[in-house]
Structure 1
């Protein structure tokens, strides 16, 4: 008997130590002293690797756009050459063989080119805002997924903590029942069956409590992962039970889905705009390319290498260059057709996405409503099970009920409490999925 009670107290002390360890704060700026779901989400939006990668991709896209637009600016290049003839070329001129050039030649030059009209650069100019918008939308999409993942992981940790609290209370009740059954057995009131049943129930509860404690550590690790939180950092979750209940059960279920609010739909529309620009680009393949150029060169030549740069002979010129595509086989026609087919395909992508969004919304709404109904039912069951257990336990002490009735009542109470917290978790998760399906789960509104 004493060994059983000491074992229960030992398990409780281990759990208490675990909770205290989780509640320890840190003075490091990059860690959270205490964390609500809002704090966890905000931390993830600043530190989660996927979000950081998306932000870097956005910066890369911005630099790529600037690189393309740089072709509108003048392009200046410097050149230099040095050449030595071992045998100077010769040519026949009016029957006489004469030398062409000298043994040593060198040229230093600077050239400038300026695009006046170029459809490649024109495409970059026309699509710069759209490409940047697409990059921002990709970042927003990653942030929304992060918010959903962190919220669910946060609620999962809270669920496990509440389950552990239920199991701790259950273990305490079973330890008390074990003590009562043992005392009655010692007094000869009951046989050893009650005592042995109490011991079995307590052992099972202790095993379940131990498993839940191990599971809590794993769920903390997952929460830290989706947050981008240091695995060695402490993290203590805080929450307001009343506010959480209100948050879980307060949602306008008459809200209708608006496709344009979904980031996936916005991304698909942006992609379609870029495909439209690609069609226009390919239709402009017949347009000429016009550029201006200017060059300034210094020429040096001498038979003796040491005197090569003793005198220079400058030349300079400027001009325009016009390139007109006349015949390209059927390349232009085929490229136009490819771009038009890709644009047509994007229409079907939008149609498919609308159906997907509508299905997600319908499923999320049905799941939320069903879980909410289960939550209210199971909440009532907790009160009923608690009343039943109190009554049966009192009647057992008075000798009216058997110990089997106490075990059944206690089991029903534990099950009702665990089911209640599971239902609360399911409602919270379903609400996150529903908000995501209607497009209201964003960094700005969370």
Structure 2
């Protein structure tokens, strides 16, 4: 290889290595990063900001409105008005008279202030409800993200722990394969024993490869949830530590009471129900009169030339009240009121359905929580017994009282017990996270 090509290759390798920056992260840190890095949360935050601006826009209908305007027209023919002939000095019943200048200038300032506009007031209250709903949806999304990130983190911890156990088992099985081959060469072991040990080693290698690939996929998913760059190498600082079974149990009614006061989706549904009542009032308000105070100040001038210093600018101004009230709208308002009533019934049914759904979810999770605690106790005891059994069998093998096959079986039982224990720890953590989420107690920082 040419020297220049070798230098380029080394530079590329160096650049690639520098791009693969490693970041060590704990679960609380992952949740904290997701609070600002998750893209779905960013979109929802913008939706919340959008609703704030909609509320401001709706409220502006109750505030004064001031506008200024100016215009210029050039007439090729003078404007015409029609007067009785007697006014114009002719015998015609109606006489057209050319008036005004060919250049017309006009400037005005208008102002209006709603005095009575119940519809706009109620729409402003409805917009404020929409703003509250979006805030609750943002909090609900944070809770969902917290659950997803926690479970994804535990998934990776479980796979890392399983990988470590499989590698330890692989070392022991490779040693067993080496011993079996040695015994077979001495005529003290069957070929079947060697083949069995070889298959066990290959199965472990396959499991390690499978877990390693799944771990990479889980890391990609976790980085997406957190909002981290794909080029960052993620390292988890937490471990899937052994849990102690929790004494006692949650009471369904207590959990339901907590959920009713803390769950954001239930708060959203409650706000939607209250807003549906307000929507009926908004629709009815369109039948009410609207009163607006108005005023205007106007300056205008006309001439045939552009000697504006010689123009006369007579002012015109007024103040007054405008009253508007619908009399017949082709049953449009009646239909809108009926639509709002139907929507209210839907939201009431939805609120009751959500409450029943939450109750069923909590009952299921509480049952899973009880089972997770029981399984954790059982698996902890099983690991202790499997460890004792393996130690006893190892002593017997060293003293020539048992075969390598019996020791291999004891090692397999110990590895399986440890894997089951890891799975029990994982399920215990996951059920706890879901139970916290179901009560509305899990949020991003």
TMscore range, shorter length? 0.7 to 0.9
Offset at 1:170? 0.1
- Tell me how far 1:138 sits from its aligned partner: 0.9
Residue 279 (structure 1) aligns with: 280
- Larger mean CA deviation between 417-426 and 149-158 belongs to 417-426
TM-score (norm 1): 0.86
Q: How far has the Cα of 1:421 moved from its partner? A: 0.9
Q: Report what 2:132 is aligned to.
A: 133
8 Å contact 2:140–2:263 — kept in the other structure? no
Counterparts of 1:55 and 1:427, CA distance in 2: 33
**2:200: which partner in 1?**
201
Shift of 1:378: 1.9
The reply to whether residue 157 of structure 1 matches residue 147 of structure 2 is no
Of 250, 253, 259, the match for 1:253:
250
Q: Which runs of 4+ in 1 moved over 4 A?
A: none
Q: 1:88 maps to which residue?
A: 78
Partner of 1:186: 185
Gaps of 5+ in 2: 1-16, 86-91
The SS at the match of 2:25 is coil
In 1, are the aligned partners of 2:372 and 2:424 still within 8 Å (CA)? yes
Structure 1 residue 249: deviation in Å?
3.8
Task: Please state how far the C-alpha of 1:347 moved relative to its aligned partner.
Answer: 1.1
| 2:13 counterpart residue number | none
Q: Deviations over 1:135-165 (max 9, x none)?
A: 2101101100000000000100000010011
**Structure 1 residues without counterparts, runs of 5 or longer:** 1-20, 27-32
**Deviation string, structure 1 residues 6-38 (Cα, Å, up to 9, x no partner):** xxxxxxxxxxxxxxx9xx976xxxxxx532222
Helix, strand or coil at the partner of 1:86: coil
Q: Aligned with 2:68: secondary structure?
A: strand
1:357-383 per-residue CA deviation (whole Å, 9 max, x = no partner) reads 111111111122222222221222222
* Partners of 2:221 and 2:179 in 1: CA distance: 42
Q: How does 1:141-152 map to 2 (within 5 A)?
A: 141-152=140-151
* Per-residue CA distance 1:41-88 (angstroms, 9 max, x = gap): 121112111112221211111111112112222212121222222233
Conserved in 2, the CA contact under 8 Å of 1:76 and 1:110? yes
1:349 aligns with 2:350: yes
Q: Secondary structure at the match of 1:123?
A: helix
Kindly tell me: are residues 146 and 82 of structure 1, through their superposed partners in 2, closer, same or farther at Cα, counting changes over 3 Å?
A: same
Report the Cα distance in structure 2 between the residues aligned to 1:326 and 1:72, rounded to whole angstroms.
Answer: 23
1:15 is aligned to none
User: Is it true that 1:68 corresponds to 2:91 in the alignment?
Assistant: no
Q: How far apart are 1:289 and its partner, in Å?
A: 0.8
Instruction: State the match for 2:307 in structure 1.
Output: 307
Q: Deviation digits for residues 267-313 of structure 1, max 9, x if unmatched?
A: 01111111111111222222211111111122121123x33674123
Greater mean deviation of Cα atoms: 155-164 or 41-50: 41-50
Asked if the contact 2:104–2:301 (Cα under 8 Å) also holds between the matched residues in 1, the reply is yes
Q: Look up the SS of the partner of 1:440 in the other structure.
A: coil
TM value normalised by structure 2? 0.86
Root-mean-square deviation (CA, aligned residues, Å) is 2.4
2:327 corresponds to 1:329: no
Matches of 2:329 and 2:234 in 1, distance apart? Answer: 65
Q: Matched residues in 2 for 1:109 and 1:165: separation?
A: 82
Look up the match of 1:10.
none
Q: State how far apart, in whole Å, the 1-side matches of 2:325 and 2:376 are.
A: 73
**1:26-425 matched pairs, under 5 angstroms:** 33-90=23-80, 91-94=82-85, 95=92, 96-127=95-126, 129-239=128-238, 245-246=243-244, 249=246, 252-254=249-251, 255-258=254-257, 259-304=260-305, 306-307=306-307, 310-311=310-311, 312-425=313-426
State the Cα deviation string for residues 390-425 of structure 1 (Å, max 9, x = none). Answer: 333443444443443333322222222112111211
Q: Secondary structure at the match of 2:286?
A: helix
Give distance in 2, aligned partners of 1:376 and 1:135.
43
Shift of 1:384: 2.0
Is the alpha carbon distance of 1:401 and 1:85 closer, same or farther for their aligned partners in structure 2, counting shifts above 3 Å? same
* Pair 250,103 (structure 1): closer, same or farther in 2 beyond 3 Å: farther
